[in-house]
Chain A
Amino acid sequence: MADGTSVPIDVIAPGQVRARRNTMQRFAQRRSTTGFFLCLPLILLIAAFVIYPAFYAIYLSMLNKKMTAFVGLGNFQFLLKRHTFQLVIFQSCLFAVTSVVLKAVIGFILAHLMHNIPGKNQRIWRGLLLVPWVIPLALSTLTWWWMFDPSYSAFNWVLNQFGIDNVPWLGVGWTARFCTIAVNVWYGTPFFMIMYLAALKSVPEQLYEAAAIDGANTIQKLFFVTLPMMRNIIAITVLFSLIVTFADFDIVRILTAGGPQDMTHVFATYAFQIGIQSGDIPLGAADSLFMFPILAFAAFFVLRGVTRRTKEIAA
């Protein structure tokens, strides 16, 4: 045989062999088959490190504290009745929404400023502004913690130079909330900036020229050309950031550990405290799963919008 394989005579009819070979060849030659095999390592990794833990967490969240009996949704019901957990829901939403909005606005402004810096200088500024995003988060948060430190705060030292009293940055509820959000914004803004910058660069120059001929001013160009062309990128970036910010652990854990008086706890830090520190893993799992419906809800609407707009553009 041409391909060097041998088949015992009379076992399979020649016609059947040809048909099977053709089917196999067609299957192997399909682009989707190649694609599937190329994706297989990633699929296996996601299955092992995302899907399995997610289902295991759901299983754990339905057990009693000693993990000996099935309690259904009992842990979720219990959590919802607790005043501290209601505070955690409020704080998580406040932390995520405020951070993402601020990151989106500041990132958008920075991207425009960056877009207007010519040539080589733009690369330098782009590199510098990406630094917060590149430094390991735990490390940079520790630096912030030192700057907010109650006794040796660099910020307080500066305030003292102007005759202003020390501010207990991490010791008062709303101030501590502000600090955690500020650090998250500092860390996450470069991501928005770089995404928006990429989107800005892909807007065709002809659209601006056409708008200019029509007499559009800068604001009108922004609202009727730039923003519509960036909508999909903005939506995807906001969704991605919302997911990451809701799941944030490092910043709150390092800066305040949830204090003072539980006023800065987010889902992840609270789950760690009740699940790992207090030995109630099912309750910790239930707490962490509260993020899931909120994010699924956001993801559904954002992705639906993106799909609709993509179809409109294609049409």
Chain B
Amino acid sequence: MGFIEILLVLVIVTDLALLGASRINSCIRFAAAQGILLGVLTLVSGAEGHTLRGIALAIVSAGVKGVLFPALMTRAIREARVRREIEPVVGYTTSVLVGVASLAVSLWISSRLPLVRPAASTLVVPTAFTTILVGLFLILSRKKALNQVTGYLVLENGIYSFGVALVEAPFLVELGVLLDVFVAVFVMGITIFHINRTFDRIDTDLLSSLKD
């Protein structure tokens, strides 16, 4: 098992840890760890990991996902004074089982989609798909707005890891994607601030007056 495989396994471990964590603080820390892992992954995988471009991208993405987002979200927790998700839609043990199931599904899907050009590791595609599925599941099964944003970040991490290992996108586009994600999370943070001010809580089941 090479270095890259260890990294990818660690990414999957953070996925499962996110599913089992009840304290929002730990969720943010696991998401941050995942962001840093992906920064390192940028360096060791892909065709141009060691070029100046690859290094710049690794630093920017690790900085945004591993440092900037967690700092923003930790601040939001302090403002909102929340500690843990009290009653998630799906319990934590079940969530971890869902995580394991999505790993199995991802392995099956990636065996069905043969790559055109060999990737740095055969684990790249299953890891990316698992992370994407876990992110989607977190968004659907958690009620706290901050946890849903964490879910969005994990989804984005999964897509990013797929992209960085397999796709050589132009630098401008990569930067644009990072910038968009950054601004999106920033705007979500502002919205959470407003939710907290309007309702004094950040549970999204308070947001249920609009329906048919």
Partners in one complex: no
